[in-house]
Amino acid sequence: MTFLRSLNEIPADDKIVVYGSGSGAVLFVDLIRRRRPDVGILYFLDSFKDGEFMGFPLRKFDSEKCIKETVVVCSNSYLEIMKGLDAASIHYKIFDVDNIADYSKEALANIADSIVSLDADLRFYLIESLERTCRTVVQSSFGSFKMACPSPTTYWLARNFDHESHTMHWIASFEDQSVFFDIGANVGVMSLLAAAKGCTVYAFEPFIENIRLLDTNIRLNNFGKLIIPCPVALCATDSISTLFLSSTEGGSARHSFNKLEKSDYRCRPVVQTQFALGMKLDTFFHVASLPSPNYIKIDVDGNEDLILAGGENTFANDALKEVQIELDTERNNYSIDIYQYMQTRGFKVKFKYEHQDSPIIDVLFARQ
């Protein structure tokens, strides 16, 4: 397994092919443009699709086609990608997306060296401080926001802030001063939008690194009185269980609480585990004395049915007007029929959005 530990390992004036079309590839290209402009990118490879990416051709990988140039793999799924490249005898290196600090610290070390001759302790402190303060201002059609972006995924989220515009338009339609439960908040993009409308937001997110970045984004935008982080995994029972992490990178998703049953689309190798507090939504609502929600978003990569099962009273409350749920159409083993569950509680389907090149759909339910 050959990792690209430094951009300086790429020969001068080299021509390369990039395998991947996600956040890791975006960051890699940005680093190349800023730090190695002599290196040329010929095109991108993807395991599933053709098209265009970042202004370059995007080609579906074909093991029968000869690739003479070095391929740089920029994907968390590099273990599967390696099998195909090895079988085709293609030379490649892996851009280590999960350890992007190796690349950023290399650049920051150069900055530290160029400022002044520092003793070892001060130099280390400067590098760590610069890394922790990676942030940007997002100018979107929904407003201006500040976001921390210390990882490839958070960098991608900042550059593609409007990527789930259908959800953002829905949030923009909320009545002012509403209560919003953002279940599966990640680093808080949707929470920020709701807070900008004056809504009170309860942001549920169990992954420690995402909670840290969520808290940072709250402070950067002065929403401390509107967004309340809730570091729990909502589920069908009150328990402490395992959160299986597909990545340790801030902003990452497709983690799984208490179970590993996933569709082919969602399945990723487990890189780390952590214990997390699991609670029924009804329990958390009662214990924390929360106000009744008017809107709920559920985006939890597989546990949607369990959240509904643990929120019988919450979803039956007439104060709740609309609920958006992300569903995986490849799964046929949901413990409850989600459409029937919502219908029996007075909701009907208002809108469906199908994600491109995936089995995921977002379904908006409105109370009748």
Q: What is the structure's pLDDT at 131?
A: 52
Residue carrying structure tokens 């159409």: 329
CA-angle at 211, arms to 194 and 359, nearest 5°: 70
**139 occurs within a structural domain:** no
My answer on whether 125 and 228 are in the same domain is: no
Q: What is the pLDDT of residue 142?
A: 85
Q: 95 and 105: one domain?
A: no
Q: In Å, how far are 13, 161, 192, 228, 355 from 170, measured between CA atoms?
A: 47, 15, 14, 21, 16
- pTM for the complete prediction? 0.72
Mean pLDDT, the chain, rounded, equals 86
Domain that holds residue 117: 101-132
Whether 1 is in a domain gets the answer no
**Average pLDDT by stretches of 10, the chain with 368 residues:** 81 94 80 88 92 91 91 85 91 74 52 55 57 74 88 81 92 95 97 96 96 95 97 95 87 80 55 92 97 97 90 96 92 79 96 85 96
Statement to judge: residues 107 and 44 lie in one domain: no
- Under DSSP, the state recorded for 358 is S
pLDDT attached to residue 59? 94
For residue 145, being part of any structural domain is answered with no
Same domain, 155 and 191: yes
* Residues ≥6 apart with Cβ < 8 Å to 355: 361, 362
Which contacts qualify for 261-270: CB closer than 8 Å, 24 or more apart? 261/302, 261/333, 262/302, 263/328, 263/330, 263/331, 263/359, 264/330, 265/328, 265/330, 265/358, 265/359, 265/360, 266/301, 266/302, 266/328, 268/76, 268/77, 269/79, 270/244, 270/245, 270/246
- pLDDT value at residue 8: 84
Structure confidence at residue 56 (pLDDT): 93
pLDDT value of residue 180: 98
pLDDT of residue 265: 43
Q: Is the torsion defined by CA of 89, 93, 94, 95 positive or negative?
A: negative
Domain contains 220? yes
Number of domains in the chain: 3
| pLDDT at site 231 | 97
Residue 354 is part of a domain; what is its CATH number? 3.40.50.150
One domain, residues 185 and 321: yes
In a domain, 61, yes or no: yes
340 within some domain: yes
Provide the pLDDT for residue 264: 43
**The tokens 């959005």 sit on which residue?**
353
Indicate which CATH number applies to the domain containing 44. Answer: 3.40.50.720
